[in-house]
């Protein structure tokens, strides 16, 4: 009867502790997640997304959207990929890497087409 009356505590509390542990282990230790970021794009040869450097959009920049499995990116660039050239390309042996170019028919964002 005591267990039934405190079922919320007895079931959910251990489960919550396990969830916290598993989530922390997955994110911080294993880095088992995907990342997406803006990769460099040459608007002369590629169809790029157009972004603005400031709110008034006085200066534009071009980019692609890259999705990768985080451990692969960490292996190439470490924790900070700010100046990592390897982050802009998908290695041939990396199956989970995907580069998306701007498609004016599908994408609602502005494209700089060839």
The tokens for 77 are 């660039």
The answer to the question of residue 34 lying near another protein (CB under 8 A) is: yes
Among residues 91, 109, 113, 114, the one that binds another protein under rule CB under 8 A: 109
For 59-96, give one letter per residue: b (16+ CB within 10 A) or e: eeebbbbbebbeebbeebeeeebeeeeebbebeeeeee
Least separation, in Å, of the C-beta of 92 and another protein? 22
Size of the site for another protein (CB under 8 A): 35
Residues that bind another protein (CB under 8 A): 4-5, 7-8, 11-12, 15-16, 18-20, 22-28, 31, 33-38, 67, 70, 73-74, 79-82, 108-109
């Amino acid at each position: 009867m005591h267990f039934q009356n405190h079922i919320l505590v007895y079931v959910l509390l251990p489960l919550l502790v396990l969830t916290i542990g598993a989530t922390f282990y997955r994110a911080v230790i294993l880095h088992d997640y995907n990342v997406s970021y803006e990769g460099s794009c040459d608007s002369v040869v590629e169809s790029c997304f157009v972004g603005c450097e400031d709110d008034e959009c006085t200066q534009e920049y071009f980019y692609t959207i890259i999705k990768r499995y985080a451990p692969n990116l960490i292996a190439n660039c470490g924790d900070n990929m700010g100046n990592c050239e390897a982050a802009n390309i998908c290695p041939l042996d990396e199956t989970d890497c995907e580069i998306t170019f701007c498609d004016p028919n599908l994408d609602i964002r502005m494209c700089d087409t060839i």
